[in-house]
Amino acid sequence: MGDSYQASHILVKHEGSRRKASWKDPEGKVIATRTRDEAVAILAGFIDRLRPLSGATLERLFAEIAAEHSDCGSAQEGGSLGTFQSGQMMPAFEEATAALAVGGLSGLVDTDSGTHIILRTGPKGYRASHILVKHEGSRRKASWKDPEGAQIAVRSRDQAAQMLEAWSAELRAIGEPQALHAKFGEIARVESDCGSAQDGGDLGFFEHGQMMPAFEEATASLPVGGMSPLVDTDSGTHIILRTA
């Protein structure tokens, strides 16, 4: 599978567009008489408003402008095209998107559809792996390793912490990111009390609000490749590795 991208765009059609109709102009009467230079002038005005902004403020205004002015049906989604794979969009559009960092705003991009500006977007969430050790304070005192919870029920939080600190020390001694990730997965598969152990502790991608607040806050504070100190939640005690 090729690369994938997430982006929003604002499209202004003009007399050179392959299809001279849009939700705004179903008969294409305005589009058929709009020159490319006029389309460029419209988009340049939007760029002037958007360039000083960044982050959520940029995304919000971009979506507002797209919803009102874009000639693409994606206007109803604030210009969002969701995720698309390499080869699904026209080459000029894909090349311009690929050249942007997440959060980046393009200049003018011409395709057979018309003239665009593109905002490259990305997942609004996190990906992480973890090693969980349950103990007597865990909300659910059972795991794949201890289905009856006999060991978990008598394990103190301090004992759980000692186990995790020992693995953490071993992991922090590994300097190479891929080796760290591999070793983290090895330990998780054998030792973690979470069902994610079968995937080396990988929790996949999760969005804001899907995890317990302490877990999400700890993950959000880490750079990609960073490993957390001990993190306590209702499930038990964790160490977290933030992944790409």
User: Which regions of the chain does DSSP assign to beta strands (E)?
Assistant: 4-12, 80-85, 109-111, 114-121, 125-133, 202-207, 231-233, 236-243
The pTM of the full predicted model, rounded to 2 decimals, is 0.57
Give the pLDDT score at 123.
Answer: 67
Low-confidence ranges of the chain (pLDDT < 70): 1-2, 123-124
Q: Are residues 43 and 115 in the same domain?
A: yes
Q: Are residues 153 and 100 in the same domain?
A: no
Specify the CATH number for the domain of residue 217. Answer: 3.10.50.40
Q: Are residues 74 and 114 in the same domain?
A: yes
**231: which strand partners?**
238
Q: Are residues 11 and 117 in the same domain?
A: yes
Q: Are residues 21 and 87 in the same domain?
A: yes
List the one residue out of 87, 109, 112 whose CA is nearest residue 8. 109
Q: In the listed set 121, 146, 162, which residue is the last one of a domain according to the structure?
A: 121
Query: Which range marks the domain in which residue 233 is found?
Result: 125-243
Q: Are residues 12 and 92 in the same domain?
A: yes
Q: Are residues 138 and 62 in the same domain?
A: no
Give the pLDDT score at 86.
Answer: 87
Q: Per the structure, how many domains does the chain have?
A: 2
Give the pLDDT score at 1.
Answer: 42
Q: Are residues 65 and 91 in the same domain?
A: yes
Q: In the listed set 64, 98, 121, which residue is the last one of a domain according to the structure?
A: 121
DSSP state of 169: H
Q: Are residues 130 and 239 in the same domain?
A: yes
CB 37 within 8 A of CB 114: no
Q: Are residues 39 and 93 in the same domain?
A: yes
CB 101 within 8 A of CB 46: no
List the one residue out of 158, 142, 232, 239 whose CA is nearest residue 193. 142
What lies within 8 Å, CB to CB, of 53 at 6+ separation is 61
Q: Are residues 131 and 202 in the same domain?
A: yes
Q: In the listed set 121, 149, 181, which residue is the last one of a domain according to the structure?
A: 121
Q: Are residues 136 and 44 in the same domain?
A: no
What the block records as the tokens of 73 is 């049906």
Residue 119 to residue 81: CA distance in whole angstroms: 10
Give the pLDDT score at 94.
Answer: 95
